[in-house]
Structure 1
C-alpha cells in the first residue's frame, strides 16, 4: 500500500511538472520528461499524461512520437477518454494531415462536444470552412459556445462570410449560449465586413456589462473595428480607456486614422507611440505608410520605410513595398515607383503593379502602363479590371487599336468584367 501511494505521488509530481513545461512552451523538456515517465517501470501512466504529451508533439511538429503515443493509447484503452481523443485528433490535424485526423475522429467510440469541437476547429483553421459547417450540421451532441466561436471565426475570415457569421451568432444566442471573449473577438471582423457599427456598439456594451471589456485584445479589436467603420471618436475614446497600451492598440489607432485620410493625426499618434517607448512592428509601419499614401507624403514615406530597418531592425514585406509603390505612384513619381518594384527583394504582388498601373492612367504614362499591365496579366490573368484599365489608358492617348486589342484579348481568354453590385444593412 505504501508503495502504491509512493508511486501515485511520484506520478502526480511528474504530471504537474509536465503540465508546467507544456503551458510554458518548454516542449522539448516536456517530451523528454514524458519519455522518462513512459520508460519508468515504477510508473503506470494515466489518461491525464497523454493529452499533455500530444500537445507538445503538435506544437513542435513531432508526428513520429505522436503516432507512437496513439498506439500506446489504443493498447491502454484510453481512446474512450474524450480529452485523450481530442488531443489525438488535434495532433494528427496539425502534424500529419486533416484527412487522417478525420479518419481517427470517425473511429472514436464516444465523442463528446470537446472531440467534435477539435475536428471542427481543425477544418476551420485550415480554411476548410465548408467541411466545418458540414460536420457542424451532423453533430449528435449539443454544440456549446466554443463550437459557435470556431464557426463564426471561420466564416468571418471568408470574403463573403460576414453575413453568415452574424447569422451563426444569432443562432448561438437563440440556443441560450452566452458569448465570451473568444466569441466577441471572432465576431468583430464580421461586423467590420458589413459595416455594422450598431452591432460593434452592442458588443462593446455587452463586454462592459459582463466584465469582458478590460481585456486588452478586445479593446484593441474595438479600436480597429470602430476605425474601420468610420467612427474615429469611438476608436479614440476606446483607445484612451486602455490602461496599458501595447503595440496592437497603438497600431490599431494609427491604422484607423490612416484609413480615413487623417494622415497628420496618424503620424502624430506614431510619434506619441515612440515617445511612450513602445516598439512598433510591421503592422504599425503599414499604417504609417498608408497614412503617407493618402496624404501624398512621398518623401516622408521613404523616410519611414528606411527607418523600419535602420531604427527597429524590421524587414519590409511585400505589403510594405506595395504601400511605398502606391505613395510614390500617387505623387506622380512613377519611375521611382517602378525602380522600387524592380529592386524588391520579395515577391512582387498584384497590389504593387496595380498601384503603378492606376497611377499611369492618372498621369498618362503609357510605356510603364504596358509593363505593369503585362505583369498583372501573368499574376492574375482572370482579373478583367487590369485589361479594362490598360484599354482606357490606350484610348485616352488616342491609341484605339491597342485599346480594341485589349478587349479582344479579354474575349479570347474568356475574361469577363464583374457586374456592379451593392448591399444595404437594415438595422433596428
Structure 2
C-alpha cells in the first residue's frame, strides 16, 4: 500500500507537496470500517481512496504527472540512454531560485510486510542524490545513500553488498539510478522495490485511454476476467449483452500499412507469440417491430458506442485488476465523460470491504464536486491543489483545516463552491461583459 508521496520543484510545485494516505487519528469514527485499511502489526491505518480537487491549470494533473515521471525514471533509467543523455525533469521555471535546482521525489510504501522509503534528487543532467531505507520490523535500515556532488556512497554492508561492487567498478551512470542498476544485478531489496513500481503502481489519464485500452482488451479475452467485466457493464446499465476482443489477423492486414509496421507485427505474433488486439465488438439485442427480441447484432466499440461507454469499458480492466491484486491506481480526470452516479459507483468499489479485500487504493482528480456531498469520504481523503499569486501550486487536505472550518456533518460541497477551502477559479467574466458594454456605450454615439 502507498503511504506517502512527496514532490518538490517539479513543474508547478515549487515547494514540497506531500500526499499522505495515513489516516488521521481525530477522524476515527468516520467511515473507519469502509474507508480505512488497518494494519495492526505496523500500527498503521491507511485510507483506501482519495480525490484531488482544484481549478483548471492549478496543478492536479501535474501532481499525477510527477508520480508518472518518477515511476518511469525508476523503471527505465538503467535500461535506456547513455552517459550525457538529458533527463526529462521539469523544475519550477518561474523563480530564479528554482530554475537550476534539482527536482526531488520520495515515496513510502508497504510491500511484502516491509516498509520502504525511496527517493532521489535529479536535474536534467544528472542524479544529484538518491536514497533507500528499509524497515522490515521496528527498525529502519539505510540501504544506501548516494551523493554525486560529494562523490560519496554510504551502503549497508550486509543488506546491500552489491553497492560496493557497483561503486568500485563505476557501473552507475551519472544520469541513472543506483536502484535500477542494482536490480539488474539481482539485488534482493532493490529488485523488490522495482517490482512494486512495475506491478503495484499505475498512473492513468482517463481522457487518453489508449494507454490502457490494449490491456483491458487482453484481460477481456480471459474467461474469468470477462465474466467480471460483464457484471460491471450490466450494473452500469449500458445495455451491452456481451463484448469480444478481436485479435489481429495477419492475413487480413491492409496494403496501406507500412512495411516496417507489418514486419514488427509479424515478429510479435509469430516470433514472440503475442496476441495483438485491434478492437472490441459489443453485442446488443435486435428487436422486431413489436419490440420483441429476435436476435443479436454487433457494434464496434470505438465507432458505434458512446465515448462514455468506451471510457467505462477501458477503465474496467485496470480497476478490476487493482482490486484483485491490492494495487494502487491513480486516474486523472476520473469523472470526465461519465455520469455522476456511475462515477460514484466505480469509486465506491474501493470503499466496500466485501469487494476491496486486499487493501487496493484508488486516487483520482475530479472536477465534479459530487464527492464532497456524497457522504462517502473522510476529510483526510479530500485534497486540494491551489496556485498562489506567483503561480506556484500548493497541495493540502481538508483534514488540515481547523475543526470549526470543516466540521463533521458540514456541507463540504457548498463550502467548497463558495471558496471556503480555496482551490476554485475566481471568475471575472461578468466584469468582462460589463466593461465591454460600457465600451460600446462610449463608442456607439460617435458611430451613429
Output the TM-score relative to the length of structure 2: 0.26
Higher normalized strand content (fraction of residues): 2
Output the TM-score relative to the length of structure 1: 0.27
Larger relative contact order (Cα-Cα within 8 Å, sequence gap ≥ 6): 2
